[in-house]
Amino acid sequence: MTLITAVEEQKRGVLSVSLDGVPMLTIAREVAVSHGVKVGLALSPEQVLGLSKADDLYRAHQAALRYLSYRPRSEKEVRDRLRRGGFRVDIVDKQMAKLKELALVNDATFAQFWKEGRENSRPRSQRVMKMELRRKGIDVEVIADVVKDVDEEAGAYQSASKKARSLGGLDEKAFYRRLGQFLQRRGYRYDLARRVVERLWQEKQGADHPGGV
């Protein structure tokens, strides 16, 4: 058994714990409070190890919460972030299980969020959206279910309409080429891109020559 001989604040919210006169642990104040850490407390080697592990789990949880505070994340994104933060595999695994239990990480919810974000601001084809979600680590069955109702033509039209406003001075051939390439870079099929460009060209002609004059 070892004896806690000192508990000192190292920096805000972080304590240095000395065992038998030697600084041995650096732990969060919340961990110290929850484990009853105080001068005079005797700890076995197993308890010292458990205290260190509890602090790792606490820090991993706080790191995950900060990462999730900006936007929803996929399980892979959170797992990768924690690994980059230097946390051991066992700590990451335990933390991921806790986050999923608390419904703070859910790949199906994330995939829906990602799809809606794309549809609202930066539309992409189903093919490209599937590729993006796979890179986020989402299961193929989840992806298929989420993207099945994506209206590609509406998305292509929305995206191309914004782009078309910057192509006002182009002739028909250049308009078709530039806007068609723009849509194909976003993953839309040639036939769909051609149809959307045709619609926008006709609308442009109508706006340029109201009443057919």
Write down the pLDDT at residue 213. Answer: 44
The residue count of the chain comes to 213
Q: Is residue 125 located within the same domain as residue 98?
A: no
Q: Is residue 83 located within the same domain as residue 119?
A: no
Beta-carbon contacts of 125 under 8 Å, excluding residues fewer than 6 positions away, are 150, 152, 155, 156, 186, 187, 188, 189
Tens-place pLDDT, residues 156-206: 999 999 899 888 788 999 999 999 999 999 999 999 999 999 999 998 887
Q: Is residue 34 located within the same domain as residue 54?
A: no
Kind of pairing between the strands at 14-19 and 22-28 = antiparallel
- pLDDT of 211 above 70: no
Q: Is residue 132 located within the same domain as residue 160?
A: no
Tens-place pLDDT, residues 27-57: 999 999 999 999 999 999 999 999 999 999 9
Q: Is residue 122 located within the same domain as residue 75?
A: no
Q: Is residue 163 located within the same domain as residue 138?
A: no
As for how many domains the chain has, the answer is 4
Q: Is residue 173 located within the same domain as residue 203?
A: yes
Mean pLDDT of the region 82-109:
96
Question: Residue 114 is part of which domain span?
Answer: 107-147
What is the CATH classification number for the domain harbouring 82? 1.10.10.10
Q: Considering the entire predicted model, what is its pTM?
A: 0.82
- The residue ranking higher by pLDDT, 26 or 167, is 26
Q: Is residue 140 located within the same domain as residue 123?
A: yes
Find tokens 């006002």 and name the residue.
Answer: 168
Residue pair 67/78 in contact (Cβ under 8 Å)? The answer is yes
Q: Is residue 101 located within the same domain as residue 113?
A: no
Beta-carbon contacts of 8 under 8 Å, excluding residues fewer than 6 positions away, are 15, 16, 18
Write down the pLDDT at residue 188. Answer: 94
**Domain end (from 147, 177, 197):** 147
- pLDDT of 138 above 60: yes
Percentage of residues in the chain with pLDDT exceeding 70? 97
Q: Is residue 56 located within the same domain as residue 85?
A: yes
